[in-house]
Amino acid sequence: MTQQALYLKEIKPLRTDSVSNVRWNEWRLCYLDWDFKLFVASFLGGATMTKAYVIAHLTLTNPDRFMSEYASKVGDAVEAFGGKYLVRGSEISYQEGESLGDLSVVIEFPSRDAAHAWGGSEQYQAIVKARTENSTGPVIIIDGVPE
């Protein structure tokens, strides 16, 4: 029996409305790969977690310092929290509307919690001042569409 099948056999009897069992189940789910976690969460009757996206539209006020003190370091923090860049570029073609800045970034995280954990992490907080001092513009976290 595979480890994943064994896990299903173990977890099925734990389905209750008890808060402590729900927390225990969530803790145990951390050991499974992401797709399997979504399957088990669905199997238990819980909502599946959607991915979350950090979207930034920045105007660079000091491009050299922004690149050396922030952009060159932020990738490690993103990866540490399961994030990956979907868009990280400066060539923008506008179909409609006004300019949103010099640089647009879209980062995908496995969940809203992961995105917030990244934003509040010591690793990110150590460099975020370099972004805020050398650029302006919104940075948002938004949920993706459930799969």
Rounded Cα gap, residues 145 and 36, in angstroms: 18
Same domain, 99 and 129: yes
Q: Which tens digits make up the pLDDT trace of 3-37?
A: 333 333 334 334 344 443 443 444 344 434 444 55
Q: By 3-state DSSP, what share of the chain in percent is helix, strand and coil, each rounded to 5?
A: 50, 20, 30
Q: Which tens digits make up the pLDDT trace of 39-92?
A: 545 454 555 579 999 999 999 999 999 999 999 999 999 999 999 999 998 788
Q: What's the domain range around 33?
A: 3-43
Same domain, 67 and 30: no
Q: Which tens digits make up the pLDDT trace of 93-130?
A: 889 999 999 999 999 999 999 999 999 999 999 999 99
Rounded Cα gap, residues 130 and 132, in angstroms: 6
Rounded Cα gap, residues 141 and 35, in angstroms: 22
| pTM attached to this predicted model | 0.67
Rounded Cα gap, residues 50 and 95, in angstroms: 28
Q: How many domains does the chain fold into? A: 2
* CATH number for the domain harbouring residue 74: 3.30.70.100
Same domain, 82 and 104: yes
